[in-house]
Structure 1
Amino acid sequence: MSATGRTLRCAIYTRKSTEEGLEQDYNSLHAQRDACAAYVLSQAGEGWILIQDVYDDGGFSGGNMARPGLKRLLDDVEAGLIDVVVVYKVDRLTRALTDFSRIVDVLDRAGASFVSVTQAFNTTTSMGRLTLNVLLSFAQFEREVTGERIRDKIAASKKLGMWMGGNLPLGYDAAGRTLTINEAEAQTVRWIFGRYLEVGSAHKIVQELEAAGVVSKSWSTKAGVLRGGRKIDRGALFHILHNRTYVGEIPHKKTSYPGQHPSIVDRDVFDAVQARLAENDLKTRKPGEVRRPQKGAPFKGLIFDSAGNRMTPLKAARPGKTTYRYYVSSPIQAGRRQNLGAVTRISAHIVEEIVANRLHELKLCIQTEASPDWSAIRNLIDRVEVTSDAVTLQFDEAMLERAIRDLGPQDRISVDRLERRGPDRILTIPVRVVKRGGAKVAIGPDGQSAIHHRATDPALSAALIRAEAWKRQLLTGQAKTLNQIAEAEGVTAAYAARTIRAAFLAPDLKAAILDGRLPAGLTLGAVTRQEMPLDWEAQRRLYAAG
């Protein structure tokens, strides 16, 4: 009994993150409990007594509250059976500040307190709460840093092509940090890829796999838990068809790296399957619906030869040399040469640049120095057809209408003149790919290059950027007058007055300056040294004339 005559019932809580060593006669949980029990005994003069119930969580992380021992402890606290919760260290109870706040709320409602043996904190005092919050901040920081280190290690290992665990793919067995081929399962995987190219129906393949009694990969974890061995449904089938592990790569998030394990599926077959998947995805796409982006091959699933065969992306790379990209007719990749179009193989760079240039001229896409907006282009186009003397685009009518709404009157007229093929509008770009000087180039009907490269005016671009910044300062009140800006910039007031004119150009003229598609008369001198009309149509006439 304490000097105040009150008995405090104490419960010890212990935790260990992993199960390692718990099978020993005396383990970490026992050591924590003995230290806490000794502390409770030392406080006997204060009326502390130890209850016999054991609250242990062996093999549970402190990052959440989903722990059976902790749940029982808090239930008993709320039931009024415990006055003091004793732990060896604060992080044994929790490593998360949000969880700690919930635990403290439970203790407060029950009139209970919390004590750490090695840190001597007591939540019944405001100073104890403050100190515990600071300590838990460091505990949470340590946990997050540890997690980052683990994630960084996994990412670095995958870049080296190492297998870092997880669900084993059908066709492989784990062998340390790599994979070995399970030939019996590998035959099933190859059959799945070949069969999908033949029928293009996931539903049919799922039915055939079920009829043959084929199930997903079955394996046991280190703890002896059996995983997998289930029916291969559509989701599992698509996961197999998209899995780059089968071509000898190790996927990590949205990237994949060359793996140390052998491939099961030929690269050409895998690429053909990806194109077929993309094509089937297009068939289910509703008009006006946003299309899934494609990295590295923007026309994947969209491009066809003149015989209607889809063309799939292909890379030709040699160690230490340039990697070339192509679109190749799928019958060629499958070893069949029947019903081929006039063009069976075309440089990806050439066809992509031809299309991007023409759409940019029509103001239907934005083209920066780095790259065109391929997401917008993919959404705009339903089909690209390559013949011996032209590239023909078929548009998604709903997406085209959306793009037209943002065009000026003159640009809208150009788009309205597009040829129609049934209900859809098409754009035919006359072009032939020929060899000149040992390299393939795209030639237009006039015999000149079909690809017009941009040439930016650095001085005019810099003046526009500077003018926009000054206009923003005036509009936001950051600067009250242009003279104030000129003084701060170290230029004359006359120079500032001439330069800020660029900020009042028509939006399409500003875009032309930044992307290098300048009208003949749009120069720095024309903007800064002569009167500029504020009417945008008048500006277009003035600078187009030169």
Structure 2
Amino acid sequence: YDFVNRRTHSATCPLHNKIFDAHGQPMRPSFGYGRGKKIYRYYVSDTLLPLGRLKAGSTTPLGDRLSAERTERFVQSQLASLLPPNGPEPEIFGAIKRVTFSATTLTVILDIAALIEPNACRDTLLDKAKKIDLAAKIEDDDLVLSLDACAVRRGKTLRSKDRFLDEPEQRAALAELLRTSHRKLKELNASPLHPEMHEHMSTPINEWTRERLAIGLLAPDIQKALLTGTAPLGLDAEKLLSRDMPLDWEGQRKFLGMKHAA
């Protein structure tokens, strides 16, 4: 994507500048291609994006990746009852001030003024909120409640950095990760596809880039599986980015649970 396209896509993400991870990092829109050039949208922690900075005292990136479509659909379906009954197809996102994702919970802060008429009874709004979250509360001009996000996790492990992704989204994310690796290898004149440029090779400037370079150097059949969406189910970005990845191709296949394609 060029800058204009990325900016246009970001405008279609209603939680842009509103959603944060458990470490307080903003989760910014990110995009990837699936089969048939289908575009998948994500909210990704700042440290997992290019130029992202590591949290102080950390040596590895901390953060999460959320399926934007599924997260937005979940938030809308859970909170739509808080909106005034009138109005054409109202959406909740205009009332949301901040969303914080932590493990299996989405904590949402909403602007009360966007949910009720001036001088209307706040207790009625709070009663509706408590049907969603018994611990919902009003703080000054805000309504604060938490949503149990387990319902949309689709069995992902707690350690996974890719949350709320279904199978096509997960495969698209892996393919995009490989494409990113090859782009960075080429930028650094380190691409195995262009050995004539290796004498001009430069080193990566940050941890984010260093982690991803190795993916473009995996066994060819592994890379083909990532691009074609035929890698084993359950393989995620965290596994590919693991520092335990073997250097030899057969060890890589064993580590990722893949057989050598004939």
> Which bracket does the TM-score occupy, shorter chain normalised?
0.3 to 0.5
Q: Which has the larger radius of gyration?
A: 1
Between the two structures, name the one with larger relative contact order (CA 8 Å, sep ≥ 6): 2
TM-score by length of 1: 0.23
